[in-house]
């Protein structure tokens, strides 16, 4: 079909187009399965076998662009013994999928995939007894459309990894051809009949109160309705552009407030914040006593700012509020958690609230999607029609819940042989508060709700992974923090490892020992040694102490750095090395090459895994070089891609990834681990190049 199309204009704008396809309303197509079991103890909750020999798998773990979908498909196809192309996936639908928890903490494979695999293994044994042959070619004829009525058997035998034919293969993701041709139905593309478009007018400052709304100001815009519930203010319109224009044009007056400390000297604010309680999370030997008698002593402070999920597409939701049953279409990573929270907050029985996941823009944790759903729900309730809300750019940057600010002090001492004798980490972190994170719309509308706080497991990886007889890690849990928080990819670990692995380098430098050698002297775990050696070999590691003492001409200084960590101290092993060129006159840090060796146990799909690791590395490179949520006393001021830049194309280095497959070991998730060594490897490379130690993110050479 010829799709070179022409637009013409006269007094009215007329757009002439030829196009063939309308968008399928995929969320609604699943209703034929309503009533299926969702109890995670039941095999039928996870698997449905159809008469044509195809199988549908059901999971609450959602694929937010991570390749989880194909990985889970491979695990089930392998275990059942059917081809991959006969398996399809339904993800994150509270009416259809068992609750395996939300998607986060790299649990998609470790929990989501392994539970599905066990269900498939149980099913296979039952199917063989029912008369399905070993190659499963008659699976549809024998078992199609029937329930197995069977509990998942934790002891059902799994296939021997040495016999794998599907797991471990780089099978292509089914979503990619659609995403490359504009035919994937994103949440942002989804509509239901009668749907209105909504846009929000958020308070100009945190806690501002709405005094008045002048509806006359939008009289020229067709078919717009203003919805006000106390300080909750939105517009709905038949036409999306009308909603966008009206939200912008609507004249409002607010009582402004100044409740924020400002981001300028936030580290000082964090250090001075009242402490709720101290928690000692690692306590080995007695570093306080040992430190003063060590041969060399160092101390340093590291800082990581508040950061945004900064999703490329602003958060979105479609909600059809009806007394007989409400449906929320969302890209939230936790549809079941969203349902439980919304049911409580809005007083809707859980069985009258269905939450359906759809593909959205990458979210990397809890971005604004839950808040957009609350916006759309209130608008739909007020308008009596389904409403789609998509946030504008400034809504997302200003109002998504943020990754926390992190302040760390580390003290350490070396013994006479330049080995780590004592190590002490102190962290200042926002304390958790029980309950769900408050939804913006619900607070604005004056509806009671919990005001919980949490940003994930943010205190992990504060201790060095190297031999040290005396180690203590203390967390000062703080009573206050300026902005709303949530999980942001690899919560807390990126900053903690930035500090720990930078300080390790500082100790190596103080000892006058090559940073690679210094690390290897303190480690015995063979998996750790494998990744460290591999990543450094790949970059052609020059064995010498840092900084680089070689005479360099001109203003450009080159250097190399490395970092290593074991994610959460018990999951993936990742080592990374970087080559940088730093222009001393401009301060520009140019990352030339990154190598990474990655061991996450059994590899399910090596290409999908590489894609995740590459993404982890490049996204975190941007977080390290550029990203900081800034705010004044009233409001967030980093509200677009100019005031909150992320990594851009011209900055992209060459990235080489080596996968170390361990087929006999359990598979671990890989959506986060490779983010964690990035900042330290970069800061260490900059130090090697310039002799300047950068301890604050975003990294800036003064």
Partner 1 sequence: SVDSWDPAQPLLYVLRNGLGLHAVKFGCGLGQCGACTVLIDGKAARSCSTPVAQVGGRAVTTLEGLGTPEKPDKLQAAFIAEQAAQCGYCTNGMIMSAKSLLNQTPNPTSEQVKQGMAGNLCRCGTYTRILSAVLRALKA
Q: Which of residues 203-262 bind partner 1 (CB under 8 A)?
A: 222, 239-242, 244-245
Q: At what angle do helices 114-130 and 68-80 cross, to 10 degrees?
A: 30
Burial code (b: 16+ CB inside 10 Å, e: under 16) for 457-489 equals ebbbbbbbbbebebbbbbbbbbeebbbbbbbbb
Is residue 529 helix, strand or coil? helix
Q: Which of residues 14-43 bind partner 1 (CB under 8 A)?
A: 14-17, 19, 21-23
Q: Record the tokens describing residue 88, joined without a space.
A: 């399809």
Q: Does 648 engage in binding with partner 1 (CB under 8 A)? A: yes
CB 244 within 8 A of CB 198: no
Q: Got the DSSP string for 107-124? A: -IIIIIIHHHHHHHHHHH
Nearer to partner 1, 403 or 515 (CB): 403
How many residues bind partner 1 (CB under 8 A)? The answer is 81
Q: Counting contacts by CB under 8 A, is residue 551 touching partner 1?
A: no
Bridge partners of 655? 594
* In contact, 594 and 668? CB cutoff 8 Å: no
The encoded tokens of residue 637 equal 């001021």
Instruction: Compute the least distance from the CB of residue 390 to partner 1, in Å.
Output: 6
Buried b or exposed e, range 75-90, using 16+ CB within 10 angstroms: bbbbbbbbebebbebb
In this structure, what DSSP letter does residue 80 have? H
Judged by CB under 8 A, the residue of 83, 177, 384, 587 near partner 1 is 177
Cβ–Cβ < 8 Å for 72, 61:
yes
Are the CB atoms for 628 and 305 separated by under 8 Å? yes
3-state DSSP assignment of residue 585: coil
Pairing of strands 275-284, 470-478: antiparallel
Contact 160/596 with Cβ under 8 angstroms?
no
Strand partners, 253: 212
| 272 interacts with partner 1 by CB under 8 A | no
Among 390, 449, 487, 638, binds partner 1 (CB under 8 A): 390
Q: By C-beta, is 15 or 134 nearer to partner 1?
A: 15
Least separation in angstroms between CB 141 and partner 1: 30
Would you state the structure tokens that stand for residue 245, as one six-digit string?
């224009």
To partner 1, the closest distance from the beta carbon of 359 in angstroms equals 7
Pick from 129, 349, 524, 642 the residue near partner 1 by CB under 8 A. 642
Report the site for partner 1 in 339-368 (rule: CB under 8 A): 359-362, 364
* Contact residue for partner 1 among 184, 257, 432, 637 (CB under 8 A): 184
In the complex, minimum distance from the CB of residue 67 to partner 1, in angstroms, rounded to a whole number: 8
Q: Tell me if 659 contacts partner 1 by CB under 8 A.
A: no
Among 32, 162, 163, 181, binds partner 1 (CB under 8 A): 181
Instruction: Give the three-state DSSP class for 32.
Output: helix
Does 186 sit near partner 1 (CB under 8 A)?
A: yes
Q: Note whether 568 and 457 are within 8 A (CB).
A: yes
Considering the complex, what minimum distance in angstroms separates the CB of residue 17 from partner 1? Answer: 5
Tell me if 176 contacts partner 1 by CB under 8 A: yes
The backbone region for 505, taken as left when phi is positive above 0, alpha when psi lies in -120 to 50, beta otherwise, is alpha
For partner 1, the binding residue among 215, 256, 415, 607 (CB under 8 A) is: 607
Kindly tell me which residue out of 86, 117, 159, 173 binds partner 1, with binding defined by CB under 8 A: 173
Which of residues 146, 179, 479, 550 is near partner 1 by CB under 8 A?
A: 179
| Closest distance of CB 362 from partner 1, Å | 4
682 binding partner 1? (CB under 8 A): no
Which residue, 507 or 538, is less far from partner 1 as judged by CB? 538
- Dist CA 636 CA 631 (whole Å): 4
Site residues for partner 1, window 59-78 (CB under 8 A)?
Answer: 64-67
Residue with smaller CB distance to partner 1, 290 or 678: 678
Please list every residue from 477 through 536 that binds partner 1, using CB under 8 A.
none
| Pairing mode of beta strands 589-599, 573-583 | antiparallel
Shortest Cβ distance from residue 548 to partner 1 (Å)? 25
Q: Which is nearer to partner 1, 21 or 129 (CB)?
A: 21
Sites for partner 1 among residues 97-156 (CB under 8 A): none
CB 401 within 8 A of CB 364: no
Q: Should residue 393 be labelled a site residue for partner 1 when binding is judged by CB under 8 A?
A: yes
Binds partner 1 by CB under 8 A, chosen from 26, 101, 153, 189: 189
Q: Which is nearer to partner 1, 309 or 519 (CB)?
A: 309
Q: Report the residue from 43, 422, 646, 694 that binds partner 1 according to the rule CB under 8 A.
A: 646
> Smallest distance, Å, CB 268 to partner 1?
31
Calpha distance 22→549 (Å, rounded) = 64
Q: To which residue do tokens 């049911």 refer?
A: 343
d(CA 117, CA 604): 12
User: Smallest gap, in angstroms, from Cβ of residue 19 to partner 1?
Assistant: 6
Is the sign of the CA dihedral 145, 151, 153, 154 positive or negative? positive
- Nearer Cβ to partner 1 (47/617): 617
Q: Which is nearer to partner 1, 38 or 316 (CB)?
A: 316
CB 454 within 8 A of CB 485: yes
DSSP state, 22?
P
**Contact status, residue 469 vs residue 421, Cβ threshold 8 Å:** yes
- Using CB under 8 A, pick the residue from 172, 272, 275, 467 that binds partner 1: 172
Decide whether 35 or 193 has the Cβ nearer to partner 1: 193
Q: How far is the CB of 609 from partner 1 (least distance, A)?
A: 11
Q: Looking only at residues 278 through 337 of this chain, which bind partner 1 when binding is defined by CB under 8 A?
A: 310-314
Minimum distance from residue 26 beta carbon to partner 1 (Å)? 12
Rounded to a whole number of angstroms, the minimum distance from the CB of residue 262 to partner 1 is: 25
Cα 284 to chain center, whole Å?
Answer: 32
Helix (H) or strand (E) holding 659: strand 654-659
Q: How many CB atoms lie within 10 A of CB 544?
A: 17
Q: Is 541 in the site for partner 1 (CB under 8 A)?
A: no
Least distance to partner 1, CB of residue 608, Å:
8
Q: Of 41-49, 181-189, 205-213, 420-428, which part binds partner 1 (CB under 8 A)?
A: 181-189
Smallest gap from Cβ 355 to partner 1, in A, equals 20
Between the alpha carbon of residue 653 and those of residues 574, 595, 621, 622, 650, the distances in Å are 19, 10, 10, 12, 9
Instruction: Please report, as residue ranges, which positions from 611 to 640 form the binding site for partner 1 (by CB under 8 A).
Output: 611-612, 614-619, 621-622, 640
Alpha carbons within 13 A on the beta-carbon side of 652: 9
């Amino acid at each position: 079909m010829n799709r070179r199309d022409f637009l013409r204009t006269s007094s009215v704008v007329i757009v002439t187009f030829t196009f063939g396809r309308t968008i399928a309303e995929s969320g609604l197509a699943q209703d034929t399965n309503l009533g299926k079991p969702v109890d995670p103890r039941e095999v039928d909750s996870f698997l449905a076998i159809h008469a044509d020999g195809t199988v549908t798998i059901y999971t609450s773990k959602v694929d937010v662009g991570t390749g989880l979908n194909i990985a889970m498909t491979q695990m089930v196809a392998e275990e059942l013994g059917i081809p991959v192309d006969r398996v399809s996936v339904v993800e994150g639908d509270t009416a259809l999928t068992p609750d395996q928890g939300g998607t986060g903490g790299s649990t998609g494979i470790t929990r989501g995939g392994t539970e599905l695999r066990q269900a498939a293994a149980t099913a296979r044994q039952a199917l063989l007894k029912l008369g399905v042959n070993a190659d499963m070619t008659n699976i549809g004829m024998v078992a199609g459309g029937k329930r197995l009525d069977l509990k998942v058997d934790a002891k059902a035998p799994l296939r021997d990894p040495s016999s794998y034919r599907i797991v471990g293969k780089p099978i292509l993701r089914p979503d990619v051809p659609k995403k490359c041709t504009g035919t994937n139905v994103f949440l942002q593309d989804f509509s239901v009949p009668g749907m209105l478009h909504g846009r929000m007018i958020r308070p100009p400052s945190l806690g501002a109160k709405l005094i008045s709304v002048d509806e006359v100001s939008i009289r020229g815009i067709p078919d717009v309705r203003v919805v006000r519930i106390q300080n909750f203010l939105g517009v709905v319109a038949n036409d999306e552009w009308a909603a966008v224009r009206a939200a912008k044009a609507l004249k409002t007056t607010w009582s402004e407030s100044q409740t924020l400390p400002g981001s300028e000297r936030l580290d000082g604010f964090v250090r001075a914040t009242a402490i709720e309680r101290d928690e000692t999370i690692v306590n080995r030997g007695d570093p306080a006593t040992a430190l003063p008698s060590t041969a060399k002593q160092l101390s340093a402070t590291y800082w990581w700012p508040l950061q945004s999920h900064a999703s490329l597409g602003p958060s979105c939701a479609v909600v059809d509020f009806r007394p007989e049953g409400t449906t929320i279409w969302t890209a939230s990573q936790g549809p079941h958690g969203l349902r439980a929270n919304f049911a409580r907050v809005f007083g809707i029985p859980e069985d009258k609230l269905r939450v359906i996941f759809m593909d959205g823009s990458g979210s990397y944790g809890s971005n604004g999607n839950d808040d957009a759903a609350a916006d759309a729900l209130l608008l739909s309730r007020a308008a009596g029609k389904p409403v789609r809300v998509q946030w504008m750019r400034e809504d997302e940057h200003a109002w998504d819940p943020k990754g926390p600010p992190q302040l760390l002090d580390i003290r350490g001492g070396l013994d006479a042989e330049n080995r780590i004798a004592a190590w002490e980490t102190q962290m200042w972190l926002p304390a958790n508060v029980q309950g769900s994170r408050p939804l913006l719309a619900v607070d604005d509308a004056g509806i009671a709700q919990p005001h919980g706080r949490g940003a994930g497991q943010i205190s992990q990886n504060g201790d060095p992974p190297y031999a040290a007889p005396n180690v203590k890690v203390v967390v000062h849990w703080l009573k206050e923090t300026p902005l709303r928080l949530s999980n942001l990819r690899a919560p807390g670990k990126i900053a903690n490892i930035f500090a720990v692995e930078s300080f390790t380098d500082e100790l190596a430098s103080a000892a006058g020992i090559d940073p690679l050698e210094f690390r290897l002297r303190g480690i015995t775990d063979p998996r750790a040694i494998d990744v460290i050696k591999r990543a450094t070999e790949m970059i052609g590691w020059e064995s010498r102490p840092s900084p680089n003492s070689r005479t360099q001409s001109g203003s450009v200084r080159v250097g190399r750095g490395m970092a290593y960590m074991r994610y959460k101290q018990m999951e993936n092993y990742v080592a990374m090395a970087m080559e940088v060129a730093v222009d001393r006159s401009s301060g520009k840090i140019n990352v030339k090459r990154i190598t990474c060796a990655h061991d996450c146990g059994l590899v399910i799909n090596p290409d999908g895994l590489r894609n995740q690791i590459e993404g982890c590395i490049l996204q975190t490179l941007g977080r390290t070089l550029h990203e900081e949520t800034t705010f004044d006393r009233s409001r967030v001021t980093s509200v677009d891609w100019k005031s909150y830049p992320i990594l851009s194309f011209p900055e992209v280095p060459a990235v080489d990834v080596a996968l170390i497959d361990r087929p006999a070991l359990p598979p671990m998730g890989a959506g986060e681990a490779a983010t964690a060594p990035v900042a330290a490897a970069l800061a260490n490379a900059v130090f090697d190049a310039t002799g300047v130690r950068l301890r604050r993110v975003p990294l800036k050479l003064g």
